[in-house]
Amino acid sequence: MAELRALGKQDEIGTAESLDSPVFTDIRLHSDWVLPAIQDILDEQPQLTFTPADVYIACEEGSAGLWIADEGFVISTGVTDEFTGNRTFLIWLAWAKKRGENCVIKYFDFFEEVAREAGFINIEVRTPVRELEPYLLNENWKIDTVVYTRAL
């Protein structure tokens, strides 16, 4: 089960304990580094229409959650199918201090367990990062939808 606790700030030596698994925590305790990191994600993916403040509010209101690990963070949320009522655990945002080390992939089993315990029937990742596709497909993920857009 996920544990709620405060951790030290990013990159401060000696303030954060080492974590074996991500820890669910309060975004207010980490907004000083999480919100700029969310902005970095948005700068790299301009198709995303929300703001760091939107993510902060979603976490504050409980419709999303912040998970901290040694390597970075994940913001998760739940999505309900409007026709079936089935719930999907969505890894909404993921950010790593150091890229290219498969940080998010490392914790997929953890998040799968969290999702099961919470009653979700699926787990989902949305990403424009094409390099993840071979790994995900090899790990029994499937491509559900590919979205193409064109400005009018």
pLDDT < 70 positions in the chain: 1-19, 100-104
The pLDDT value recorded for residue 18 is 55
The pLDDT value recorded for residue 12 is 37
C-alpha–C-alpha distance, residues 94 and 67, integer Å: 9
pLDDT in tens, 35-44: 999 999 999 9
Strand, helix or coil for residue 121: coil
The pLDDT value recorded for residue 19 is 65
pLDDT in tens, 12-41: 333 345 568 899 999 999 999 999 999 999
> In the chain, what are the domains?
23-138 (3.40.630.30)
Distances (CA, A) of 34 to 45, 58, 85, 115: 16, 14, 31, 23
pTM score, two decimals?
Answer: 0.82
